[in-house]
Amino acid sequence: MTMNTLRPRWAWAGALVGLLIAQACEREGTGDIRINATCRDYCNQAADCNDDIDVDDCRADCESTMEDCQADEQEEALDDLDDCAVESCNEFGACTIGAGLQCSFGL
């Protein structure tokens, strides 16, 4: 292999590592990036569990709710939604209720 063929491979490897780091970092704290990523994953799982769920409507509702959430409750509610996004469909409904209560009432 020549140096010219190795450079693109290193560039792709570096880009992949950067993407992985960005994905890991976006799931901490609050803010638009975190809200968008969490609501995307949550709504994709919601649609997988219920064919009547429209992903775009779900995301708009989720993002609006999270933006209106009390600042001190938002991160925990986002953490809860991240957990819900990986739950089986059998557990999804109960998980969702818990996340909503966290944001609305601090429970």
Three-state secondary structure readout of the chain:
CCHHHHHHHHHHHHHHHHHHHHHHHCCCCCCHHHHHHHHHHHHHHHHHHCCCCCHHHHHHHHHHHHHHCCHHHHHHHHHHHHHHCCCCHHHHHHHHHHHHHHHHHCC
User: What is the domain partition of the chain in residue ranges?
Assistant: 30-105
Q: How confident is the prediction along the chain (107 residues), in pLDDT tens digits per residue?
A: 555 554 555 444 444 444 444 444 445 678 899 999 999 999 999 999 999 999 999 999 999 989 888 877 888 889 989 999 998 999 888 888 777 676 765 55
| Amino acid 104: pLDDT | 63
